[in-house]
A and B are shown apart, each in its own frame.
Chain A
Amino acid sequence: MNDAVLVVGAGPTGLSAAHGVASVGRRVVLVEKQDTLGGAPILSGYAKLVPSGEWAKDAIGRMVKRVEDSPLVEIHKGARVTKLGGDAGNFNATLSNGKTVSAGAVILGTGFTHFDAINKPEWGFGTYADVVTTTQVEQMVGAGKIACPSDGRTPERVCILLCVGSRDRQIGREWCSKICCTVSTNLAMEIKELSPETDVYIYYMDIRTFGLYEDKFYWKSQEEFKTKFVKARIAEVTMAPDGKRLLVKGEDTLVKRPIVIPFDLVVHAIGMDPNEDNPEIAKVFGVGLEKHGFIDRDEQYTSTFSSTRRGIYVGGAALAPEDIDTCISHGLAMAMRAVGEMAASRHQRAA
């Protein structure tokens, strides 16, 4: 029964891979540790996605439904792989729910973990109620109301701090999380739409709205939604003497002077960490991790999306910070690799 593909993780990457494998008539066993499918966009309640502008629950919801409706996909929720034996073409896995699975190939779509902003204590998260993360603001937008958690007032002035938990050697995170600039400029517009009286500031070192996101998000938020961009990495967030507003202090590098601006709501644009399960995943699946802690891969040109172990593929945010569109294409590419590999090994056996 090793004509099946084992897909681990049911985020955009895993869902896309599972659909790809099923679409050519192969069986899929999909293992997801949470009780809900959909990955970060669903588990963290993102609002409208970039770049489509579609609500996450609709867009990712369709991906979930397509997989759930497929007779070729067997789904295990709330489960993990605890043991993996065998070799490429002939793996056998044991799941935490006691089931065993035979599979010809394994696809890892195990994704990322959100940076925990508590690890930048000087920026006030965990100390002040009105310091929140982009995921919390996504949820506010989803609920249709922007409010300060402390007393529910509508903020007059909001700032979004970019690169929180990214590009920071101090805390051992040397990567750019790739999507947070675009997500933040999009959130700035959504905040303004929900509350036109609110002024939104973005504190940045660089703006990395790659490809077509440049004018659709960065320029649009600045030119049409009047988002203000301050070139500064801030020093600290403290409470104003009025006990209500937060003082954001930093050096404005373009004026060469320190600036302090009072804000009602401070938002951390949190980055994408390697999945906190990666050490365990590395052990169970026998795959290597790269220096930052993401799952490592073989050379990309002819051994596309292969992990360091033959027959196990890895893609999406498990490899590096990625956006959803890219994750979806990784998923399909891995499906192609997996079914191709199985066809080849069957050929060999027949010969």
Chain B
Amino acid sequence: MPIHEKTLIDPQLLVQSDKLVVDGIDVSGHWNTMILPRTMTEYDPDFYETIQAFPGGENVHRCWQCGSCTNSCTMYAINTDFNPRYWIYLINLGYKSELVKDKDIIWQCVSCNKCTNICPKDVRPEGVMKALAHWLEAEGHTPKSRSTLFDEEFTRQCIERGRIEDTEVMFNFFRQTGQNLGAMLKGGWLRLLIERMNNVHLLRQGKIGKFVARLPLVQGFKMGWAMVFKPRTRSWGRTGEVLREYVEEQKRAAHAGIGSPTH
């Protein structure tokens, strides 16, 4: 196991200007390299409350930095930059800028919960990792995750029509996640799925009658119909609007301040 040392001089703190003349002397390029101070003074002492508002983050303030979570962590064994103990510390002291630096690895938590089982203070680090990943996403530091995109599409249909169309959910999900439907139908897992669900082996064996008899034609027709006409639940009326307002309200209450310019 390598000894994990962070470099003390952060590349972001190195500044250098290409053209610089001081007192008539040309000090362009590396001659004028400066290191900005690495002292931290900017931090948000209430930040842990923001994380507590996301499911899983409730116990983050209990951590006493014993390091058991990191020692037991599946991901840490692979990448020593993945350090839940460290991130929990940054949350509690409110060093947001340091946290954001690790945005590209925090989401890699595999939810094995080894950390949760070993933590002596019942911090539930796995939950904190989830909460942190959600915060990074909510603040726009990381792109929306696939599960978020799926949830959003699902919720949108619920609110608009009081029901969801599976086909449309999947269709829009594929589109938003940049998955090429055409290619998947041609050769990907989607083709395999459709083939097997529809007993294509019968067709290959020449049993055309049996194949056609088992085709879910009515189902297929319904799916197509719903895709085009997008039916709503009867007397849905203003229900969707009220629902939307409620959901927004709840979100605001839970994550007061997130995404607002002061944070």
Contact = CB atoms under 8 A, between A and B. Distances in A.
Interface of A: 157, 199, 207, 219, 222-223, 226, 228-231, 249, 252, 254-262
A260 B40 contact: yes
Contact of B61 (A223, A257, A262): A223
Nearest to B39: A258
B61 A222 contact: yes
Interface of B: 5-6, 8, 38-41, 43, 45, 61-62, 64-65, 86, 89-90, 92-93, 95, 98, 121
Q: Which 4 A-B pairs have the closest CB atoms?
A: A258-B39, A259-B40, A260-B41, A254-B89
Contacts of B64: 207, 222, 229
Given A199-B45, A223-B61, A257 B8 contact: yes
Contacts of B121: 219
A259 B39 CA distance: 5
Contacts of A207: 64
A228 B93 contact: yes
A109 B116 CA distance: 49
Contacts of B61: 222-223, 226
13 contacts: A219-B62, A228-B45, A228-B93, A230-B93, A252-B93, A255-B40, A255-B86, A257-B8, A258-B38, A258-B39, A258-B40, A261-B43, A262-B41
Given A228-B92, A255-B98, 11 more contacts: A199-B45, A219-B121, A222-B61, A223-B62, A228-B45, A228-B93, A252-B40, A255-B95, A257-B38, A257-B40, A259-B41
Contacts of A226: 61
B1 to A, nearest CB: 18
Task: Tell me what chain B mostly uses at the interface: helix, strand, loop, or mixed.
Answer: loop
Given A222-B64, A231-B65, A257 B39 contact: yes
Nearest to B40: A259
Nearest to B121: A219
Nearest to B122: A223
B95 A260 contact: no
A226 B86 CA distance: 19
Contacts of A259: 39-41
Contacts of B90: 255
A257 B86 CA distance: 13
A341 to B, nearest CB: 47
B115 to A, nearest CB: 17
Contacts of A249: 39
B126 to A, nearest CB: 19
A256 B41 contact: no
Contacts of A230: 93
B138 to A, nearest CB: 23
B127 to A, nearest CB: 16
Nearest to A258: B39
Contacts of B95: 255
A283 to B, nearest CB: 46
B27 to A, nearest CB: 28
Contact of B62 (A222, A228, A255): A222
B97 to A, nearest CB: 12
A229 B89 CA distance: 10
Contacts of A254: 65, 86, 89
Given A228-B45, A228-B92, A256 B6 contact: yes
A211 B212 CA distance: 77
Contacts of A262: 41
A329 B3 CA distance: 48
B180 to A, nearest CB: 44
Contacts of B39: 249, 257-260
A254 B86 CA distance: 7
B41 to A, nearest CB: 5
Contacts of A222: 61-62, 64
B58 to A, nearest CB: 11
A249 B40 CA distance: 10
A112 B93 CA distance: 36
A226 B49 CA distance: 10
